[in-house]
Amino acid sequence: MMKHLIALIAGMGLLFSISLTQADTLQIPVGAQTGESSVSLPNRGSSTQSVLQRHGEPQTRHPAVGQPPISRWDYGDFSVYFEHNHVVHSVRHHSPTRASE
């Protein structure tokens, strides 16, 4: 009886260890994480005037909040964050793509 119990426990342990070792690993190269875009983002320190000249009028201007005042301009593919009248950060909008199957 004891031999059967030990064999059963050993067999179950083997089954569990096999199922744990069959995981997939997804690796995305760093350059492929953001996707491709032909539009270059405004650089940190650029003025609101230079952003307007280069990219035109934004779709939406969010009013400044906080101290120092931080405002945001939204364009089609990206947003620009300003402190006073200078760029502090620019980010691309996430656009999910379907993986090829």
Q: Answer yes or no: is pLDDT of 73 > 80.
A: yes
Q: Answer yes or no: is pLDDT of 91 > 60.
A: yes
Percent of the chain having pLDDT more than 70?
Answer: 75
Q: Answer yes or no: is pLDDT of 88 > 90.
A: yes
Residue 25 domain flag: no
Confidence of residue 59 (pLDDT cuts 50, 70, 90): very high
The C-alpha atoms of residue 83 and residue 77 are separated, in whole angstroms, by 21
Number of domains comprising the chain? 1
Residue 6 domain flag: no
Of 16 and 93, more confident? 93
Length of the chain: 101
Q: Nearest to residue 76, comparing CAs of 31, 47, 36, 39? A: 39
pLDDT score recorded for residue 1: 74
The C-alpha atoms of residue 69 and residue 91 are separated, in whole angstroms, by 18
What is the mean predicted confidence (pLDDT) over 32-57?
85
The domain of 65 spans 41-101
